[in-house]
Amino acid sequence: MTTIHEQLGGEPAVREVVFRFYEKALADSRLAGYFHRVDLSLLREHQVRLFTAALGGAGAVDGSGAGAEPDTASAEGIHHDEYDLVIGHLADSLRESSVPEPLLTGTLFAIAPLARDVITVPVVTT
């Protein structure tokens, strides 16, 4: 069975999407503050490994600590509204990389479980 990672074009395609995504996220004033004092090179490489693993590619974590989390979390965490912006930028990045809509949808569903690791601020209900 072909993995989503393989259908996208492997690591080079994932890397392209990740780099496009960060261009968009950094240009978005609603998200840019989350990246102050962050090593963007390390963050991009981490995301490539994370997406590779989530999409069925080669494992991202080994005993050497290669899969360790970079220090990227803002003290205030990311809110659900910002996470929605992140997903929108990711979808746009996939489209710009000529990913067909069915594969784009499959990709977003495959990474959906990662949301619990990204959203650190609970929803406030009134």
Q: Is 46 annotated as a binding residue?
A: yes
- The fold adopted by the segment(s) 4-118 is Globin-like (1.10.490)
Alpha-carbon gap, residue 76 to 34, rounded angstroms: 9
For 81-98, how does the pLDDT look when each residue is reduced to its tens digit (9 = 90+)? 899 999 999 999 999 999
Q: What is the pLDDT of residue 122?
A: 62
Query: Sign of the C-alpha dihedral, residues 19, 80, 8, 49?
Result: positive
| 3-class SS of residue 29 | coil
Q: Name which of 6, 75, 14 is nearest 46 in CA terms.
A: 14
**Going by C-beta distance under 8 Å and a sequence separation of 6 or more, which residues neighbour residue 43?**
22, 35, 70, 72
Tokens at residue 41, please?
């090179």
* Reported pTM: 0.80
103 in Cβ contact with 7 (< 8 Å)? yes
Tens of pLDDT, residues 5-54: 999 999 999 999 999 999 999 999 999 998 888 999 999 999 999 999 99
